[in-house]
Amino acid sequence: MSSLDTATVAKRYSRALFEVLSEKDELTSGAADLQAIRQIFLSNPKLGLALSDNSLSESDRKALLQPMLDNASTQTVKNFIEMVFDYARMTDIVAIIDQFEILNDEANKTVHADITSAVPLSEEQEQRISQAFAKRVGANKVILNSTVDADILGGVVLQSSGVTYDGSVKAKLNKIRRMLLN
């Protein structure tokens, strides 16, 4: 039996974590804790590897883990970190937290959207886009993550949970090109 891939692991752990946190009504504080942990792992990309490296002694690795445990405000998150450590899944912890975020967002009706534009968008423009999008997908809150990419020439591309709303000039030109070539 081959070992499970990251995506499968993430789905299982995150679901369990989400259910425990929602039973204990600790979703808000738990989510904040997890977000902080995610930041630590992202800023130290080798931390996950180090924590599951068997050539280091267990006490050393536990010591590395200690600050995170101390900073976590909820007991469930503390338990979660220790359990993931015990099962040697520390390399997958970012994926697990990401998956947890997706579950949490679903429950809160929060939507993440990546928005790409050719020129930086003003505060007001972003506001209007997120309002329009929230209305369209029926969400309470839209968290925009905007990037600037001059390659799209003009217009806006919005991506959210696997759906692309492409209003860019580049896509339109491509469409015309294909139409003329066929």
Partner 1 sequence: MSIKAEEISALIKQQLESYQDGLDVSETGTVTYIGDGVARADGLNNALEGELLQFEDDKGTYGMAQNLESNDVGIVILGDFTQITEGTKVKRTGRIMEVPVGDELIGRVVNPLGQAIDGGTEIHTTKTRPIEHKAPGVMDRQSVDEPLQTGIKAIDALVPIGRGQRELIIGDRKTGKTSLAVDTIINQKGQDVICIYVAIGQKDSTVRAQVDTLQQYGAMDYTIVVSAGPSEPAPLLYIAPYAGAAMGEEFMMNGKAVLIVYDDLSKQADAYRELSLILRRPPGREAYPGDIFYTHSRLLERAAKLSDKLGGGSMTALPIIETKAGDVSAYIPTNVISITDGQIFLDADSFYAGIRPAIDAGTSVSRVGGDAQIKAMKKVAGTLRLDIAAYKELESFAQFGSDLDAATQARLNRGARTIEVLKQGLHELLSVQQEVVILYALTQGHLDKFPVEDVLRYEHELFAFMDASYKQVGDQIAETGNLPSDSSLDDMLNEFDKKFVPTKDSKAEEDAIDSADAAE
Residues that bind partner 1 (CB under 8 A): 5, 7-8, 11, 159, 162-167, 171-172, 175-176, 178-180
Nearer to partner 1, 5 or 60 (CB): 5
User: How many beta carbons lie within 10 A of that of residue 95, not counting itself?
Assistant: 19
Nearer to partner 1, 4 or 107 (CB): 4
CB of 168 vs partner 1, minimal distance in Å: 9
Nearer to partner 1, 85 or 133 (CB): 133
CB of 122 vs partner 1, minimal distance in Å: 21
Question: Residue 142 has which token pair?
Answer: 């839209």
Nearer to partner 1, 126 or 165 (CB): 165
CB of 72 vs partner 1, minimal distance in Å: 29
CB of 154 vs partner 1, minimal distance in Å: 13
Q: Report how far residue 133's alpha carbon sits from residue 43's, in angstroms, rounded to the nearest whole number.
A: 31
Rg of the chain, C-alpha, whole Å: 21
Q: Report how far residue 28's alpha carbon sits from residue 140's, in angstroms, rounded to the nearest whole number.
A: 16
Q: Report how far residue 6's alpha carbon sits from residue 84's, in angstroms, rounded to the nearest whole number.
A: 13
Residue 48 contacts residue 90 (beta carbons within 8 Å): yes
